[in-house]
Amino acid sequence: MERAELARMIDHTLLAPETTPGQIAMFCAEATELGVGAVCVSPNQLPLPADSLPDGVAVATVIGFPSGAHRSVAKAAEARLAVLDGADELDMVIDLGAAAAEMWNAVEADIAVVRAAAPDVVLKVIIESAMLRVPERIVAACRAAEAAGADFVKTSTGFHPSGGASLEAVSVMAETVGGRLGVKASGGIRDAATALAMVDAGATRLGCSASRAILDGL
């Protein structure tokens, strides 16, 4: 894979809660230099400064992050505000408690509320695949996301103690959505070999904070 092709698959990510405006400016400059497809920042960093990114670089933010333990109406309000502040894409965390209890109708309903609040932007649904552990739960979470109108399923926040993306989870997710949705691998991807393995397993997007190291490793 060519460097530019892989770069366009990357959501260059900076979600540390202590991030400063100065760090955001340097982050956007790095994203521009690397030629990534999107940046992903916390909602309080929006709107990004004017002209901080070139045309064609999407702006993503997170919803219900990182726990997912927010009321659906709060996630919906956060989504609406994010869109008003210039977000092109939303990465929302599912109701992890409902998923752990295998209450898949509740998981789907939570996603659907956010979808309805922001119908015109890309919606990526974070299922915390490492927490779900077994393929059957990963499949069920993906099916709930698809039924609720999501555009992508995403492995992880990168903040959950259960861990980040795995090749096995990405493969199960890709097989479940069958190309109808995208698959974003995120959490623990820090080098080129891991990034390429995730793509081979079925990932169509990569969430990375180590984007430069990954691309330099090609």
Whether pTM > 0.85 for this model: the answer is: yes
Can you tell me which residue has the tokens 């927010």? 70
Question: Would you state the pLDDT for residue 194?
Answer: 98
Question: 9 pLDDT band (50/70/90 cuts)?
Answer: very high
Instruction: Tell me 37's DSSP state.
Output: S
**Pairing state between β 152-154 and 122-126:** parallel
Question: 159 pLDDT band (50/70/90 cuts)?
Answer: very high
What percent of the chain is modeled with pLDDT above 70? 100
Note the CATH number of domain 8-216. Answer: 3.20.20.70
Which residues neighbour 57 within 8 Å (Cβ) at sequence distance 6 or greater?
31, 32, 36, 37, 38, 39
Which residues neighbour 1 within 8 Å (Cβ) at sequence distance 6 or greater?
196, 199, 218
Task: List the alpha helices (DSSP H) in 68-158.
Answer: 72-84, 96-100, 104-117, 129-132, 135-147
Question: Would you state the pLDDT for residue 167?
Answer: 98
Q: So which residues are the catalytic ones?
A: 91, 154, 184
Task: For 197-216, write each residue's pLDDT tens digit.
Answer: 999 999 999 999 999 999 99
Q: What number of residues does the chain have?
A: 218
Question: Would you state the pLDDT for residue 2?
Answer: 96
Task: For 167-188, write each residue's pLDDT tens digit.
Answer: 999 999 999 999 999 999 999 9
Task: For 70-97, write each residue's pLDDT tens digit.
Answer: 999 999 999 999 999 999 999 999 999 9
Please report, for the chain, the start and end positions of each structural domain, with discontinuous segments joined by +. 8-216
Task: For 28-76, write each residue's pLDDT tens digit.
Answer: 999 999 999 999 999 999 999 999 999 999 999 999 999 999 999 999 9
Question: Would you state the pLDDT for residue 15?
Answer: 98
Question: Would you state the pLDDT for residue 100?
Answer: 98
Q: Are 114 and 75 in contact (CB under 8 A)?
A: yes
Task: For 94-108, write each residue's pLDDT tens digit.
Answer: 999 999 999 999 999
Q: Please tell me the distance from the alpha carbon of residue 33 to that of residue 187, in angstroms, as a whole number.
A: 23
Question: 144 pLDDT band (50/70/90 cuts)?
Answer: very high
